[in-house]
Amino acid sequence: MRRISAMQGVSVAVRLVAAIGGGYAVAAGLAALAAVVLPATTDLPRSEAVVLASMLAFLVYLALLIWGFAEQHLSRLWVIFATAALASWGGAWGLVRLTAGN
């Protein structure tokens, strides 16, 4: 049994924030995006799209959590999560602004 060094402690903390917080941000962003895109592109009613997006978000979050703890390079983890979160939230917000303008 080895003692945990300070560096390892910091890296575990950074990973926890990335996997739990970052994973949630991405899953929530994708849910928001799906809730806007689905009613606009299919004939699924808006409330149905919201329910579907939120339900699927749990499985997306689970997959992201697993990957968040499996990925060896912390930097790659952060870059991908940050990009995906920005893209999904930005896309959802942009689409809402776009459709509201019509």
User: How many residues are given for the chain?
Assistant: 102
One-letter amino acid for residue 98 of the chain: L
CB of 22 to another protein, least distance (A): 14
Residues sharing a CB contact under 8 Å with residue 22, sequence separation 6 or more, in sequence order? 64, 68, 77, 78, 81, 82, 85
Beta carbon nearer to another protein, 15 or 87:
15
- Please report how close the Cβ of residue 79 comes to another protein at its closest, in angstroms: 16
Buried b (16+ CB within 10 A) or exposed e, 17-35: ebbeebbbbbbbbbbbbbb
Name the site residues for another protein (rule: CB under 8 A).
Answer: 1, 3, 15, 20, 27-29, 31-32, 34-36, 39, 44-55, 57-59, 61-62, 65-66, 69-72, 74, 92-93, 96
Shortest Cβ distance from residue 50 to another protein (Å)?
Answer: 5
CB nearer to another protein: pick between 83 and 96: 96
Residue 47 has which token pair?
A: 């409330």
CB 55 within 8 A of CB 46: no
Minimum CB separation from another protein for residue 4, in Å? 11
Residue 38 or 83 having the CB closest to another protein: 38
